[in-house]
Amino acid sequence: MRGTPRRKPTLMPLVALAALGLSVTLPVLSTSVHAASPVAYSSVTVRPGDTIWSLAERRTQAGGDVQGTVDAILAANHLGGANLTVGQHLQIPR
């Protein structure tokens, strides 16, 4: 009694798997990485009565986000809080 004939293995599943792998990895590999644009700073010396908020208000455009400017000043100068010292030099993002 003869059984059903054996099928010869084909390469089609392997080709399909390779095509799927390429279709997923090529777009990821071809995207370029964009660096953030450089930030320009102005240097300010703290005067009596200056606060982070007052410095930020002077530098923020009308209707702009003063809190965002405060956060940028704190980050640019690696400050852990809003305490300033007269004569302290700060970098203010433009």
Rounded to whole angstroms, the Cα distance separating 52 from 50 reads 7
Instruction: Give yes or no for residue 4 having a pLDDT over 90.
Output: no
Instruction: Give yes or no for residue 1 having a pLDDT over 60.
Output: no
- Which residues make beta-bridge pairs with 41? 93
Residue 79, domain CATH: 3.10.350.10
pLDDT-derived band at 39, boundaries 50, 70, 90: confident
Q: How many CA atoms lie within 13 A of 84 on its CB side?
A: 23
User: What percent of the chain lies above the pLDDT cut of 70?
Assistant: 86
Give the DSSP letter string of the chain. ---PPPPPP-SHHHHHHHHHHHHHHHHHHHPPP-PPPPPPEEEEE--TT--HHHHHHHHSPTTS-HHHHHHHHHHHTT-SSS---TT-EEEEE-
Range of the domain at 76: 41-93
**The overall pTM is greater than 0.85:** no
For the residues 36-55, what does the mean pLDDT come to?
A: 91
* Domain count along the chain: 1
58 assigned to some structural domain = yes
62 assigned to some structural domain = yes
60 assigned to some structural domain = yes
**What's the chain's average pLDDT?**
85
